[in-house]
Structure 1
Amino acid sequence: MPTNITLVQGDITEQDVDAVVNAANSSLLGGGGVDGAIHRKGGSDIIAECRKLRAERYGRGLPTGQAVATTAGRLPARWVIHTVGPVWSQEEDRSDLLVSCHRESLRVAREIGARTIAFPAISTGVYRWPLDDAARIALRTLREEGEGFAELRLVLFDQRSYDAFQAAG
């Protein structure tokens, strides 16, 4: 694994990095899993910026595969980069959208000047993306697109996720 990509098992809301990536839903207004945890722990400043983004730029919600940054509120990070992962489908290959989540998050990170970024396992929760495939896609994309960052940290919530990313590395 490239030296700027690290794997840790833990809580993404506790990462002391420039930016954390939020596996958001398109409403940008919070939800379950990583999204809910970031909004709960980060506080009202995040939701206020998300509401403003909805009103000014994303009236229909943030499109799948896109990314946008807000403050991180009370989180140790400076920014939250919200990205909407695809729902996994057996009938349709949506892997390009999962690649886009990682690529667009890196693009936004560059725009805001973030050097250290923490990513969750995007789409592997309620969106049911198979863990092994998500790990392969995330690591490949970060290797190909992650040049110039000090650290790209994949923060895996449980041992099963950590093991899948370790195996894909």
Structure 2
Amino acid sequence: MKDIKIIKGDITKMKANAIVNAANNSLLGGGGVDGAIHRAAGPRLLEECMTLHGCPTGEARITHGYNLPAKYVIHTVGPVYAGKTSDAHMLASCYYNSLALAKKVGLHSVIFSAISTGVYGYPAESAAKVAVDTIQKWQKENSDYKMDISLCAYDGRMYRLYEKMVA
């Protein structure tokens, strides 16, 4: 099984082919990591996002990274946590569809933010398990495609959860 790297820090300062933004349905910026990515990328990111006309929950869209060290931003919309079985399915779709999109456009390194764990209220431990399980499933199904995949933790707690899940 290919490794999933765990990194801690500010995703807007990380170099990769793409970083994955935990976006809202409008793709027009918001709070948390979404707002930070929009601020760091500069106003052209918002201009390009406006041409995409939003994104349904569980799907992914790609834009240029502009002022970010990452060449591209993959925007995915996680579920607002409601404690339903469909929440895990929608969250898994975010990870899977982001990786599928990265492969489709020929990218080979992707760094994920912790999708839905902020204002969308997804419990961090459950979200980390969905992330790791889905990434490993994608890696198994795409074993012939070289992709460096990292999970970016914004704090020590998330870092330890990710570490526990990939151990």
Partner of 2:25: 26
1:166 positional shift: 1.1
Q: Which residue of 2 aligns with 1:58?
A: none
Which of 142, 148, 151 lines up with 1:151 in the alignment?
A: 148
1:53 aligns to what SS in structure 2? coil
RMSD: 1.2
Structure 1 residue runs of 5 or longer lacking an equivalent are: 55-60
Instruction: Write the distance in 1 (CA, Å) between the matches of 2:153 and 2:87.
Output: 22
1:122 match: 115
* Separation in 2, partners of 1:93, 1:107: 20
Q: TM-score, normalised by structure 1?
A: 0.92
Aligned-pair CA distance for 1:113 = 1.1
1:83 and 2:76 are equivalent in the alignment:
yes
1:164 maps to which residue? 161
CA contact (8 A) 2:108 2:147 kept: yes
8 Å CA contact 2:12–2:36 kept in 1: the answer is yes
Q: Aligned residue pairs: how many?
A: 162
Q: Does 1:46 align with 2:45?
A: yes
SS of residue matched to 1:7: strand
CA distance in 2 between counterparts of 1:127 and 1:43 reads 24
Q: Distance in 1 between matches of 2:123 and 2:28?
A: 25
Kept in 1, the 8 Å contact 2:40–2:67? The answer is: yes
2-structure distance, mates of 1:4, 1:17? 16
Residue identity opposite 1:47 in structure 2: L
Q: Which runs of 4+ in 1 moved over 6 A?
A: none
Counterparts of 1:29 and 1:149, CA distance in 2: 31
Corresponding residue of 1:57: none
TM-score, normalised with respect to structure 2: 0.93
CA contact (8 A) 1:70 1:81 kept: yes
